[in-house]
Structure 1
């Protein structure tokens, strides 16, 4: 077993959390082909993404409290096994309805990695340390969306879209073995919560009525919905509208990931000089600028690959700065129920993202306009949430002065 604070434990937790992004990013190049194979429209194909996000959101409300009672490891392992089984079902699907159902089941299992990975970080580190570790973890995780669409594009071209789900099933099985034998249980025994409905509801009420939790969570969910709007619409915009080949889709997607990693590393570097509040406002400002540029170009009917990719890369710099701070801030007040706090945080994040994704699919007009407008609106709403809630109600002990200035 590895030490909880070792760099390899952080890497393994990142690999566990990366299962969620992999399940969306790897099959993005396949969406147009899935629609063609099943003779269905963009809105129906896009629902396989939104239903995944909905299942992901709902499952977190269950696996978080279960993890607070039984520990992080057993719930995470069970989630990986369910994910693997559902992934095989996706590969064998013969119609869009079956694929939707299996994607929903896949999400139920896949939610365990991200929600319990966040909780484990909070178990191991203090709130300020957790923000730094989550930024590092996010940078490691960025390898998944950097390479997943490229791999997925080549698999679609050479082996068909079903092969993507077979690979995802294998990844989940490997992670189940790695977590079983490689990572100690991070949860302190004294933090175990009783698994009773009244206790569960009381915990959720305590968390949901904490204004600082609501502020960080809503800011995170809104900025993440801009990211998910891009995930939902990018394959249709780049492949169908702008003529990018599926096998080249991942190369352009990698530019987006570079922006995200840049934001993560900037947050890590600034973490020793600035308080999270200062990092947040800088990241949100960058995201608003990026989203506004993309929307402006789309309104002006400037339709090129780079008029989408470059503004989105700038938007992702802001996302990379914002997400780690809001994750750590949301859970800062709840070390004794980190699983439930992470679950409610994740539910809100995924529910808002699912709405944004559904809007992209439903309103898609064949150009980049709808996607770009929703991305810009998400960034502006996130900034408003920060100004109204986070800035006025920061988490106690989280927004204190950085170590270098104390």
Structure 2
């Protein structure tokens, strides 16, 4: 079994966390085909994404406290097994309603990987170290969304969309075995929390009323909401509106993933000479610029693939710089409640993602304008959250206290 600080442990945690983006990105090229097979509208098909986010959000409120009581590993393993069973249900679905329900169940299991992966990093490292490790983890994890749409497009073209869910289920089972036998339990025994409703509510109240937690969490949630707006709308914009072949969708998607990796690597490099919040604000400014350019082009009816891809790649560079800092900042005040803090963080993140995904589906006008506008608005809101909350209330031990801080 590996040591906790081994680079291979980080890689395996990244592979566990990657189940989340795999479950969304791999089947993006299949969305138009799913709609055609079930005779479902764009809003009904995109609801399979939004319901996944809703289930993901709800489950995190449960699996985090369970992991604070029983440890990270058993909850993560159980989540993977549930995800695999729900994936089979998705593959066998005969109507859009069944697929939506099984996607919800899939999310209940799939939430364990990301929420407990974040908590495990906080268990192992200090807050400042965790921000850099999370950036490294995100870079490794970015391989999944880079490969997933291309693989999904090939599976759709060759074997049909149901094969995507069989592949996802197999991946989840492999990860359950790897976590069981390859990674030590990262949680200290003395940090285990009692599983009592009153204590859980007390923990959530303490976390939710921490202003620095709220600042980092809302900054993260709004920028992630912008990212999910792209995930929710990109296949319809690129495939249906701009005529990209499903098997080529992943190649364009890889450009955005490359931007995300560049942002992660920049965060790691800058972390040696800048404070995390200095990296965070630079990333937000880049993300706002990318989102604004895309919205400006769409508003002026500049409709081509590169008018979407290049601004989104710039947005992703900023996002790659923002996400690790906000994750580490949100959890830094709660070493004894990292699972619960990660759960509440993930609940807010996924709730906003579900909202933006539903908005893209409901307001979609057949062009890129709706998607681009929501991305730009969310990026601006993220910058506002930083300026109003994070800048005034940085996390203790993560940033120096400002004059107006707590």
Is the TM-score greater than 0.5? yes
Aligned to 2:122: 122
Aligned to 1:145: 145
Aligned to 1:356: 356
Structure 1 runs of 4+ with >2 Å offset:
none
For 1:130 and 1:19, how far apart are their aligned partners in 2?
Answer: 21
Aligned to 2:371: 371
- Cα offsets for 1:155-206 (capped at 9, x unmatched): 0011000000000000000000000000000000000000000000000000
In the alignment, does 2:267 pair up with 1:267? yes
For 1:52 and 1:255, how far apart are their aligned partners in 2?
Answer: 25
In the alignment, does 2:127 pair up with 1:101? no
- Cα offsets for 1:77-110 (capped at 9, x unmatched): 0000000000000000000000000000000000
Q: How far 1:277 sits from its partner (Å)?
A: 1.2
Q: How far 1:325 sits from its partner (Å)?
A: 0.1
Aligned to 2:232: 232
Aligned to 1:9: 9
CA contact (8 A) 2:56 2:110 kept: yes
Aligned to 1:302: 302
Structure 2 residue matching 1:272: 3-state secondary structure: coil
Q: How far 1:146 sits from its partner (Å)?
A: 0.2
Aligned to 1:398: 398
Q: How far 1:400 sits from its partner (Å)?
A: 4.1
Aligned to 1:258: 258
**TM-score, structure 2 normalization:** 0.98
For 2:111 and 2:95, how far apart are their aligned partners in 1?
Answer: 24
For 2:311 and 2:27, how far apart are their aligned partners in 1?
Answer: 23
Q: How does 1:208-223 map to 2 (within 5 A)?
A: 208-223=208-223
Structure 1 residue matching 2:240: 3-state secondary structure: helix
For 1:39 and 1:356, how far apart are their aligned partners in 2?
Answer: 24
Structure 2 residue matching 1:64: 3-state secondary structure: helix
For 2:310 and 2:116, how far apart are their aligned partners in 1?
Answer: 33
**TM-score, structure 1 normalization:** 0.98
For 1:400 and 1:173, how far apart are their aligned partners in 2?
Answer: 43
Unaligned runs of 5+ in 2: 402-406
- Cα offsets for 1:112-158 (capped at 9, x unmatched): 00000000000000000000000000000000000000000010011
Aligned to 2:243: 243
In the alignment, does 2:56 pair up with 1:65? no
Aligned to 2:404: none
CA contact (8 A) 2:127 2:329 kept: yes
For 2:400 and 2:32, how far apart are their aligned partners in 1?
Answer: 48
Q: How far 1:397 sits from its partner (Å)?
A: 1.0
Structure 2 residue matching 1:35: 3-state secondary structure: helix
Unaligned runs of 5+ in 1: 402-406
Structure 2 residue matching 1:22: 3-state secondary structure: helix
Q: What is the RMSD computed on CA atoms of the aligned residues? A: 0.6
For 1:20 and 1:276, how far apart are their aligned partners in 2?
Answer: 25
Q: How does 1:5-44 map to 2 (within 5 A)?
A: 5-44=5-44
Aligned to 2:160: 160
Aligned to 2:331: 331
For 2:246 and 2:400, how far apart are their aligned partners in 1?
Answer: 47
